[in-house]
Amino acid sequence: MTAQTRDPAPHFRDDERHPAVWAAKTPDRPAIIDARDGSVITYAQYEARSNRVAHLMRAAGLKPGDHMAVFLENRPDYSLLVWGAWRAGLRVTAIPTHLTPDEIDYILADCGARLLITSAAKADVAAQLRAAGVPAEARFMIDGAAPGFVALEPALAALPDTRIPDEVEGIEMLYSSGTTGRPKGVLKPLPPEPFGTPSRGFLLAATRWGFDENTVWLHPSPMYHAAPLGYALRVIRFGGTIVSVPRFDPEQCLALIEKHRVTHSQWVPTHFVRLLRLPEEVRAKYDVSSLKSAIHAAAPCPVDVKKAMIAWWGPVIDEYYAGSEGNGMTTISSEEYLRKPGSVGRALIGKVRICDDDGEELPVGSEGVIFYSDNPVFEYHNDPAKTAESRNRHGWSTLGDVGYLDEEGYLFLTDRRSFMIVSGGVNIYPAEVENLLISCPGVGDVAVIGVPNDEFGEEVKAVVEPINPAAAGPELEADIIAWCRARLSHVKCPRSVDFVDRLPRGDNGKLYKRKIRDAYWEGRGRRIA
């Protein structure tokens, strides 16, 4: 009798990085840990299920370059479903869970999605979708079925868990947050390299922050946002473990860092503010010494908040400045930040150019619009006009932010050009005032906007979410204005303060300032960018 032969071990290229590599090397190692109950998805399970998802895409007739969408809450298998679509070469649009049915239908139609995956948790909203371009047989629901949707689990169970023969790299196609109008899809070229080849940007990020198979990643932000989704996929590509959190809770995050010995994490400044507001005895209760890199972005971080986090967690607070467009990136370490407070760092991807309104590059120290050259390309899907607006005559691209470079090449953000307040001919950048007022006693959150003024065109107003709602009123308003004037030029300080129960801030920390400004400018004829 001849000895039974086994299939040879799979062979991978030296540069190959994807779930199959780690499923072969360490099949029982956790790819995902569910923070709710500690349950695990191993790399072997992750690989098998994502393969079934890839087969599902092919069975639905989708080919490389086609579009599919996911409309899901934070859940352990979120990245797995995206990986399955990626390995089929698809463009994946992750849809924010707070959108209305009309807004979701707009995105589905605009991106041309031919397949949609949602869940029972989103059934109420999903039931209201027209999803006109998605065939009935390509509308899938996890955790059950609902009218108009096919149950995902039986569909996957009927498919192989082996790799599809025509694997090719896909890519995300995410939509802008819509802070200044209808959201626009960011369309990037499909990766040209063979499947499993990390892009240059992925490799730079992995090297910069030390992603490898020993990484334990905590992401307390919604997965539909660019950074949480992108970094989760990077962690899996390089063999790390994700601790999946359904939503941000400051003390729970500290407990998870200690319990799972988290090495890397993703935050926004609002998370930092809420962590710092925990009582001292709560903050001191948890061991966060396992952290090697706590990465933050998405919104400007007040200097005092950043310094307080570095003092608490040590020099592991890393910041980057970039957008969903992927046209460039700057990074800054804690050590650099303490030397250059307020900076978002030096360029890691692309070359930063500061330009005037005519596209001419400005000298060091001059404030202007931030452009990138020598960088990855993108376009706004179905919007050539907006794409053209993002370029200058040299072909350099911008996100519309304003800032300056110092003599060492460190970038300092001032604000978004569309948010600038012009009062009596004086340019006022709200971010400067907001970064100050967030430290004002009694202020829980704040937005600074320009409102109509018949004499000066605009005047500065602060819209404040007070820590104690019962304190809202003329006395607190006077205290806030006086506190600001003691620390900043009077022309930059608010002339009035309005109080609200909650500012319209997204889960990614971004402030939807347009929603605030529109109420003050309605009927005044001002064009809101």
Domain 42-175: CATH class, spelled out: alpha beta
Greater confidence, 333 or 416?
A: 333
pLDDT of 439 strictly over 50: yes
Amino acid 418: pLDDT: 64
Amino acid 406: pLDDT: 97
pLDDT of 449 strictly over 60: yes
In this predicted structure, which of 156-170, 204-218, 430-444 has the lowest mean pLDDT? 430-444
Q: How does residue 508 score in pLDDT terms, banded at 50, 70 and 90? A: low
pLDDT in tens, 131-144: 999 999 999 999 98
Backbone angles phi, psi at 347, to 5 degrees: -65, 130
Domain 420-521: CATH class, spelled out: alpha beta
In this predicted structure, which of 16-30, 161-175, 201-215, 467-481 has the lowest mean pLDDT? 201-215
Cα-Cα-Cα-Cα dihedral sign, residues 365, 370, 374, 375:
positive
pLDDT of 171 strictly over 80: yes
Rounded to an integer, the average pLDDT of 485-489 is 85
Q: Which helix (H) or strand (E) holds 46?
A: helix 43-59
Residue carrying structure tokens 């108009």? 148
Greater confidence, 56 or 451?
A: 56
The mean predicted confidence, pLDDT, of the chain is 90
In this predicted structure, which of 44-53, 208-217, 350-359, 415-424 has the lowest mean pLDDT? 415-424
Tokens found for residue 447: 């937005």
* Residue ranges covered by each domain of the chain: 42-175, 198-349, 351-419, 420-521
Amino acid 529: pLDDT: 31
Same CATH topology for 42-175 and 198-349?
yes
Tokens found for residue 527: 């064009």
Q: In the chain, what are the helix, strand and coil shares in percent, each to the nearest 5? A: 30, 25, 45
Alpha carbons 370 and 378: distance in angstroms, whole number: 16
Rg (C-alpha) for the chain, rounded Å, is: 24
pLDDT in tens, 286-309: 999 999 999 998 777 888 889 999
Q: Which residues contact 72 (CB under 8 A, 6 or more apart)?
A: 78, 81, 94, 97, 117, 118, 119, 121, 122, 142, 223, 224
Q: What percent of the chain has pLDDT over 90?
A: 73
Greater confidence, 445 or 300?
A: 445
Which homologous superfamily is 351-419 in? Luciferase; Domain 3 (2.30.38.10)
Alpha carbons 256 and 147: distance in angstroms, whole number: 38
pLDDT in tens, 329-364: 999 999 999 999 999 999 999 999 999 988 999 999
Alpha carbons 373 and 353: distance in angstroms, whole number: 7
Amino acid 10: pLDDT: 80
Q: What percent of the chain has pLDDT over 70?
A: 93
What's the CATH architecture for 198-349? Answer: 3-Layer(aba) Sandwich (3.40)
pLDDT in tens, 369-393: 999 999 999 999 999 998 999 999 9
